[in-house]
A and B are shown apart, each in its own frame.
Chain A
Amino acid sequence: MSGDWPLWEVFVRSKGGLAHRHVGSVHAPDAQLALAHARDTYTRRLEGVSLWVVPSAEIVASDPDQAAELFEPAESKIYRHPTFYDIPDEVKHI
């Protein structure tokens, strides 16, 4: 039966100010019940204050076969990391 239901990806915001994080997926016949299932499956232990559900089919993923061309070129470009600056002591939270 659940095989007939679409899959939804679940994102939970653990507290105000933080981003929603992917935590897993649920099967559900529609968006409303996907939220209910996500609530019952992933927030039973006070894990969150907000939920997103997204139809899994709507997520566009990069192709693992393209990993070499997509990600490896960044490996040799350490100058893209902002590690060459002296940060004044007065600046906090960086």
Chain B
Amino acid sequence: MASLPPIDVPKGATGAGVFDARVAGERDPAHFDYLLRLGDDALVLGQRLSEWCGHGPVLEVDISLANLALDLVGQATLLLNEAGDGDQLAFHRDVLDFRNCLLVEQPNGDFAQTIARHLLYTTWQHMLLQRLTQSSDRFLSEFAHKAVKEVAYHRELAADWTVRLGDGTEESARRMAEGLDWCWRFVPELFEVDETLQAVIDAGIAVDPREFEEEYRAAIAAVLAEAQLEAPADQRPILGGRRGHHSEHLGHLLAVMQFLPRTYPDATW
């Protein structure tokens, strides 16, 4: 049988899957930045949650938090590998180059503060992913279809715990209120639209978070009402994570996360 003639490979593309191949330098910088924002959110929150591993208040919660962490690290792997070399981006990038929001890098605090952070972030993330399924970017649309199911569970679990802690004992209600209070000032950043984000929104790639801000506020208010908690007073918003202006907490997180591959560059796993 005669063999087929070799296929012409476009210049700059890899041999495998010509039409899917990423051509270096082709991607728009705003698009790249958007992948980093979503990927870094997932990576940093996943790393934060993994700090609970072995320290959970009870065995079942320990496993539960580790599962949530693994979901997020899985999402980060997909997003950062789409942006470039995922391992390189995760382990060999300095703090100023991270594009995650400030909320996800906040310390775990006690279990209630971790739940407050998870409720505030994953409710936003869930609403975002629901809309991102319509992205004009095929990867992001497919990614959103997959991740939205995971995140729906995260959102529900965080809401369940918020209600139980808020409407629990005097101590659990106090801790839940303090946890929300800590995280509240980082919520406005989730709805900030800067030039970079506007460019990918205009291109149909990204979701405009302002579209669902009202829905978000109402959803959080409903959970807090069921939890018998008052919404914290609005504080001066703290912004800047998307531009690389991070709190001191992120540097410590990265030091732990990046230590091994930076110290032993030949390590494999």
Q: Using CB atoms and an 8 Å cutoff, list the residues of chain A in contact with chain B.
A: 1-2, 5, 26-30, 32-33, 36-37, 40-41, 44
Task: Let me know if B58 and A36 touch, CB within 8 A.
Answer: no
Which of B64, B161, B164 contacts A40 (CB under 8 A)?
Answer: B64
Task: Let me know if B67 and A40 touch, CB within 8 A.
Answer: yes
A32-B156 Cα distance, complex, nearest whole Å: 11
Task: Let me know if A1 and B58 touch, CB within 8 A.
Answer: yes
Task: Let me know if B160 and A44 touch, CB within 8 A.
Answer: no
Task: Let me know if A26 and B164 touch, CB within 8 A.
Answer: no
Task: Let me know if A41 and B60 touch, CB within 8 A.
Answer: yes
* Residues of A contacting B238 in the complex (Cβ-Cβ under 8 angstroms): none
Taking CB atoms and an 8 Å cut-off, the chain B residues in 157-179 that contact chain A are 157, 160-161, 164
A62-B58 Cα distance, complex, nearest whole Å: 31
Task: Let me know if B63 and A41 touch, CB within 8 A.
Answer: yes
Q: Could you tell me the distance in whole angstroms from the C-beta of B70 to the nearest C-beta in chain A?
A: 9
Task: Let me know if A40 and B57 touch, CB within 8 A.
Answer: no
Give the number of A-B contacts (CB < 8 Å): 33
Quick check: is B7 within 8 A (CB to CB) of the other chain? no
Q: Known contacts A36-B157, A40-B67; can you find 14 more A-B pairs with CB under 8 A?
A: A1-B57, A1-B58, A2-B60, A5-B58, A26-B60, A27-B58, A28-B60, A33-B161, A33-B164, A37-B63, A40-B60, A40-B64, A41-B64, A44-B67
Task: Let me know if B160 and A37 touch, CB within 8 A.
Answer: no
A40-B58 in contact given A32-B160, A33-B164 (Cβ < 8 Å): no
How does the 8 Å CB contact mask read for B39-55 relative to A, with 1 for contact and 0 for none? 00000000000000000
- Closest residue of chain A to B57 (Cβ to Cβ) is A1
Quick check: is B233 within 8 A (CB to CB) of the other chain? no
* Residues of A contacting B160 in the complex (Cβ-Cβ under 8 angstroms): 32-33, 36
* Residues of A contacting B57 in the complex (Cβ-Cβ under 8 angstroms): 1-2
Q: Could you tell me the distance in whole angstroms from the C-beta of B163 to the nearest C-beta in chain A?
A: 9
Quick check: is B59 within 8 A (CB to CB) of the other chain? yes
Q: Could you tell me the distance in whole angstroms from the C-beta of B160 to the nearest C-beta in chain A?
A: 6
Q: Could you tell me the distance in whole angstroms from the C-beta of A8 to the nearest C-beta in chain B?
A: 10
A27-B67 in contact given A32-B160, A36-B160 (Cβ < 8 Å): no
- Closest residue of chain B to A37 (Cβ to Cβ) is B60
Which of A2, A29, A30, A36 contacts B59 (CB under 8 A)?
Answer: A2
A29-B165 Cα distance, complex, nearest whole Å: 11
Which of A1, A29, A41, A44 contacts B164 (CB under 8 A)?
Answer: A29
A30-B64 Cα distance, complex, nearest whole Å: 16
Q: Could you tell me the distance in whole angstroms from the C-beta of B228 to the nearest C-beta in chain A?
A: 16
Q: Could you tell me the distance in whole angstroms from the C-beta of B157 to the nearest C-beta in chain A?
A: 6
Name the residue in A5, A30, A37, A44 with the highest tally of chain B Cβ atoms < 10 Å from its Cβ: A37
